[in-house]
Amino acid sequence: MDGALTERERRFLALADPLARRFAERAAQHDADGSFPHENFADLRAAGLLGLTAPEECGGLGANELEYTLTLERLAWGDTSTALALGMSLSNIGQIAEGHLWPDHAPALFREVARDGAMLNAAQAEREMGSPSYGGLPGATARREPDGGWRLDGRKIYTTGAPGLRYFIVMATVHEEGQPPRIGDFLVPSDAPGVRIEPTWNALALRASGSDDVVFDHTPLPDDALLSARTPGEPDPRAALGLPWGSLTLAAVYTGAAQAARDAIVHFAATRKPTALGKPLGELPNVRMRLGEIESLLLASRRVMLGLAADWVASPDARPALRQQAPLVKVITTSNAVRVTDIALCIAGGQGLQRGKPLERIFRDVRAGLVNAPIEDVVLQNAGKSAVDAAITSATVSADDSSL
Ligand SMILES: Cc1cc2nc3c(=O)[nH]c(=O)nc-3n(C[C@H](O)[C@H](O)[C@H](O)COP(=O)(O)OP(=O)(O)OC[C@H]3O[C@@H](n4cnc5c(N)ncnc54)[C@H](O)[C@@H]3O)c2cc1C
């Protein structure tokens, strides 16, 4: 996998590597006090990595899915929280660029991202609605004002990276006189009047990710802040594109984190010599077997993740099939990351439970992958449905042949 890196991939990894090491040194403190790692984002900005996925013609680095995944995975090795917040911004930018979305706004947005290292993220989830992916109507509202603009009101939860964002892409119910409600996406600068971040994120996992509440209180917006609108029940135009940026982001974040857990436990197994044993734990057959399981899980994760990214880039004809695979890759890699940290903790014994150690933090962090959308239950049900639907419509299955 790493043997065949291109010159560009090597260049991006060379930028990411020293930053990942620096993030690792800062991670315990930010985890302990739940603070947002602004200095990590200053480093990423200085390295140009906040423009990693912005198009080159707008001054960005123009990374494709494979270049992006490799780079984000490396950064996640240093700090999972930083990587998730970074990945949310970079994947939104990559998706907007590849999907040719919002042509009136996108070029200026990309230039700001590349020039200033501006970050953006979607603010969709709400306490009552939960995830918008199940089709609920947002409680946040955007009402048409007499001057032709909008007034935005509402509260969003779990807005990852909130303290560092320049723009929120806010999902709200659109109310206009004489028209039925629609669901709209609005581009909202973080310094618009009435925008407030409430530091509510005090969670088990990803404590430094700034996944806070954002409140919009009579926020005035210009007419063209509305990026797109649809009637309830219609598919979200961004989700309908079926681009793999979101799945690859979560795969890279949690695989990079699991790799850091693996490195920590291998080092421990090679150096910890209990007195009675008189040699490193790693010489015990059962410890070796558990380490071997970690190696196999990580190999599988990296193969499916980088395989999806590489195929997406190299084989446009294969994209319809790859779109179906992307959510499964998210599920495989996040559950493998959870399993890797479970096994690592079994090997580590009491030291693995100690606060301030990387393993204990990463053990907690990767559990967020189980909650990040799309969740496993939905992905597996969809995959199972596709398999059965295909078999039902296939000529090889008939009503009078139901044998195995
Ligand atoms: C670390 C983290 C970062 C996040 N970052 C962002 C972000 O940046 N922007 C953003 O907009 N959102 C973000 N989210 C929100 C996330 O994408 C989901 O929208 C949110 O977690 C859903 O709310 P809930 O977990 O409270 O689930 P609830 O809605 O309370 O549901 C509980 C559980 O039931 C499942 N469930 C609920 N309804 C259904 C249904 N109809 N069918 C099947 N299963 C269902 C849910 O998936 C969940 O597992 C983030 C979440 C986390 C944990």
pLDDT per residue as tens digits for the range 236-284: 888 889 999 999 999 999 999 999 999 999 999 999 999 999 999 999 9
Q: Which structure tokens are listed for 47?
A: 């390295």
Distance of CA 102 to the CA centre of its chain: 22
Shortest-distance Cα residue to atom 35 of ligand 1: 375
Per DSSP, 171 falls in state E
Share of the chain above pLDDT 70, in %: 98
CATH class of 244-393: mainly alpha
Give me Rg for the CA atoms of the chain: 22
CA-CA distances (angstroms) from residue 298 to 84, 165, 264, 284, 352? 19, 32, 14, 21, 20
Rounded-to-integer distance, Cα 395 and Cα 391, Å: 8
Digit-coded pLDDT (tens) for 343-365: 999 999 999 999 999 999 999 99
What is the amino acid identity at position 281? L
User: Average pLDDT of 390-403?
Assistant: 72
Q: Are strands 226-230 and 212-221 parallel, antiparallel or unpaired?
A: unpaired
What is the position in ligand 1's atom list of the atom closest to the CA of 129?
A: 29
Closest residue CA from atom 4 of ligand 1: 158
Q: How far apart are CA 208 and CA 186, in angstroms?
A: 26
Q: What letter does residue 61 receive in the DSSP assignment?
A: -
The pLDDT of residue 131 is 82
What's the confidence (pLDDT) of residue 253?
99
The pLDDT of residue 397 is above 60: no
Domain boundaries, the chain: 7-118, 122-234, 244-393
pLDDT at 396: 60
Percentage above 90 pLDDT, the chain: 92
Kindly report the pTM of this predicted structure: 0.96
Say what the pLDDT of residue 132 is. Answer: 80
For residue 99, count other CB atoms closer than 10 A to its CB.
16
Which CATH architecture is the domain 7-118 placed in?
Answer: Orthogonal Bundle (1.10)
Which residue's CA is minimally distant from atom 31 of ligand 1?
Answer: 130
Question: Candidates 158, 190, 254: which one to mutate for ligand 1, based on the most atoms within 8 Å of Cβ?
Answer: 158
Q: In whole angstroms, what is the distance from residue 41 CA to residue 208 CA?
A: 12
Confidence (pLDDT) at 238:
86
170-201 pLDDT, tens per residue? Answer: 999 999 999 999 999 999 999 999 999 999 99
- Which stretch of DSSP H or E encloses residue 255? helix 245-271
Distance CA 5, CA 167 (A): 34
Beta strand 141-144 with 167-175 is parallel
Q: Give the binding-site residues of ligand 1, using a 6 Å CB cut-off.
A: 88, 121-125, 130-131, 134, 158-160, 206, 211, 368, 371-373, 375, 378
Model confidence at 232, in pLDDT bands (50, 70, 90)?
Answer: very high
Ligand 1 centre from 273 Cα, in Å?
A: 44
Distance set, CA 362 to CA 74, 77, 276 (Å): 15, 10, 30
CA-closest candidate to residue 372, choices 79, 88, 94: 88
Report the atom number in ligand 1 closest to the C-alpha of 378. 43
CATH number of 122-234: 2.40.110.10
Query: Ligand 1: which atom is nearest the Cα of residue 203?
Result: 1
C-alpha to C-alpha distance for 167 and 155, rounded to whole angstroms: 15
